[in-house]
Amino acid sequence: MSDDNGELEARLEEQEEFEPPAAFVEQANVSDSDIYDEFEENWPDCWERAASMLDWTDDYDQVLDAENPPFYEWFTGGELNASANCLDRHLEERGDQPAIEWVGEPTDEENVTLTYRDLYERVNECAAALREMGVGEDDVVTMYMPMIPQLPVAMLACARIGAPHSVVFAGFSAEALATRMNAADSEYLVTCDGYYRRGDPLDHLSKANEGLDSVEHETTTVVVDRLGDDGHGHELDDSQHDWDDLLADHEGAEIDPVDRDAEDMLFLMYTSGTTGEPKGVKHTTAGYLSWVTWTSHSVLDIKPEDTYFCSADIGWITGHSYIVYGPLSLGTTTMMYEGTPDHPDRNRLWEIIEEYEATQLYTAPTAIRSFMKWGHQYPDDHDLSSLRLLGTVGEPINPRAWKWYYQHIGDEECPVVDTWWQTETGGHMITTLPGVGKMKPGSAGPALPGLDAQIVDTNGEAVDPGRAGHLTVQKPWPGMLRTLYNNDERFVDEYWREYSDTDSEDMADWVYFPEDGAKVDDDGYITVLGRVDDVLNVSGHRLGTMEIESAIVGVEGVAEAAVVGGDHEVKGEAVYAYVIVEDGQAESDEFRDEIVTAVEDAIGPIARPEAVVFTPELPKTRSGKIMRRLLEDIANGDDIGDTSTLRNPEVVEDIKTTLDEE
Ligand code: PRX
């Protein structure tokens, strides 16, 4: 894949197992391997260990209420506030310590340091402003913001007054914003005028306003002025407030954190599923916060004196759990970087790590594959010796990329945690504990203590080691989603029906199915193979094929479309769209552009098709089902095997020829 491959030492290339570095183990937050047995023997009370990391205003009565599976409740009767746990409790000991170190994309701009006291003050002012605007407990506040410090401020302000937030990734389109605001019945939006991307000041507010035009109810908006003189000359209307003015109006305000019931909603996060409609994943206050606090401590080894750097975007679950809530709950310094790792050049990320002496780096395999492609001369030019731990998330990492990361970024001195989890799981599920277990590149590791993950066949029976099957989680856990917003039925259908006895009231009969394929080895290490549903993983971003298809068939002149994922060197998967045009519609480059634009408008540039292939027909089974696997094989140039079960086998050659010609 890159020049570096030839340079990997033979020793590393052949090595399949790596012990955690002794110096790391010595200082690790968790280093006793008995933890696995202890948690198993003491389940579910083992989770008191996570709950005890939080400050409660009222103690809980019961660790787990499993009376009505799969609608589990955790730490019932307890009361707490997430913002108080991330801020107030740290003030006395570390009020002057940076809570957030923010680095903007332009190099000539001053970076922002918010100490715990600064952050506390901003959050209180914002909470007071939101309240005055009318935001009440349980009102959903939508945030459509890039990586600017006002985003975590707004999230924590919402948590403070008991208003769940719903953050929409800034790269999503206006239409995607409107869909999410309508689905959540959200009357409030916090957004900004724009942000920098590869040196350009992007206009974000036009997109937000366009989205608001399609929101079916009245809305009130707060707008952060990110761009200053580089802005696009927007005028705010009567329903729109300027962030700075609002906060200035409430300067010095202090708002008592609202006591939230353990099971009260902390936030909603919309994610892609098999149907066109995004799923509103509901996370609760105690279960979620205890989960991300515990895993930030045990897996990411975060300590208050660290400067921890996760390069994800807060618009995705990784940023929620492991930039905002987990790290701040532990009282550490968490970093935020606005831009891309190659702006103004490919040294940027390594410069930031060197300057801030970052202690952890948590990133995605797609980024690591880019770094490999660029070459190790960039990290080699920087002192990265402050790093103590490396992490990856979002998609499978192949052993070659793992070893490159381990060698060139970690200098063979940092454990690498390959963390498998999902928006729905709230936080880490399958990974090694870096101070305990050996690492096997390519395999995420065993399930965390207290979790029961099994690989099963279609009958739900455990498969033998080495065989591929479906990944399942056999017991509930505190960080799990509680339901899909306003849609309990879909929650049961999507995650439980496949492997559970849905008539049973016994927890043992309920099995969570994350819709990933996996295999396990003799040591219980799990290798995640990827999604088994119609969801693509493009650069670690989750996209529903149905969402993309419905955008394409909405274009006038398109008769039918099928979207699949093809292998991609850097992105992991890329979007391939096979399109049948209506009679009389030219299969022109202009029409192809129109289709690409329609996808960008409906979802965002991340869903942009790599290829749009015009075809007279789609390969279908005799019962009329589109053979997606076959389309994937064609996209990848793989052997397509037997096509005799197709109704129209001749179409396969046609499509292959068209694709070859492109
Ligand atoms: O397929 C798995 C993949 O990402 C999916 C979850 O996507 P999302 O909800 O957007 O959350 C991403 C960040 C947690 C999973 O169903 N995935 C995530 N982490 C890994 C992974 N696949 C393999 N290895 C991982 N470490």
Residue 662 reports pLDDT greater than 80: no
Global pTM value: 0.95
β 265-271/220-224 pair status: unpaired
Q: Judge contact between 578 and 613, C-beta under 8 A.
A: yes
Best of 390, 424, 537 to mutate for ligand 1, by most ligand atoms within 8 A of CB? 537
**What does the block give as tokens for 159?**
């948590």
3-state secondary structure of 622: coil
Alpha carbon of 199 to ligand 1 centroid (Å): 30
Check residue 461 and report its DSSP letter. Answer: P
Residue nearest to atom 5 of ligand 1 (CA): 422
Q: Binning pLDDT at 50, 70 and 90, where does residue 659 land?
A: confident
Query: Topology of 453-529 in CATH?
Result: Luciferase; domain 3 (2.30.38)
Q: What is the pLDDT of residues 569-624, one digit of tens each?
A: 999 999 999 999 999 999 999 999 999 999 999 999 999 999 999 999 998 888 77
Structure confidence at residue 459 (pLDDT): 94
User: Residue 7: its pLDDT value, please?
Assistant: 61
Tokens 């994309």, located at residue: 105
Q: Compute the distance from residue 515 Cα to the ligand 1 centre, in Å.
A: 10
> For residue 3, is pLDDT > 60?
no
Rounded to an integer, the average pLDDT of 70-90 is 98
Domain limits, the chain = 3-419, 453-529, 534-661
CA 391: distance to chain centroid?
14
User: 15: left (phi > 0), else alpha (psi -120 to 50), else beta?
Assistant: beta
Can you give the pLDDT at residue 112? 98
Residues near ligand 1 (Cβ within 6 A): 271, 317-318, 393-396, 418-423, 444, 514, 516, 528, 530-531, 537, 542
* DSSP codes, 306-372: -EEEE-S-TTSHHHIIIIIIHHHHTT-EEEEE-S-TTSSSTTHHHHHHHHHT-SEEEE-HHHHHHHH
Average pLDDT, integer, range 626-632: 86
How would DSSP label each residue in 60-76? Answer: -SEEEE-SSTTS-EEEE
Among protein residues, the one with the nearest Cα to ligand 1's atom 4 is 394
* pLDDT tens string 552-561: 999 999 999 9
CATH 3.30.300.30 correct for 534-661: yes
Q: Which span out of 6-15, 430-439, 611-620 was modeled with the highest average pLDDT?
A: 430-439
pLDDT for position 9: 67
Q: Which fold has domain 3-419?
A: Rossmann fold (3.40.50)
Stretch 22-42: mean pLDDT: 98
Compute the average pLDDT of residues 389-418.
97
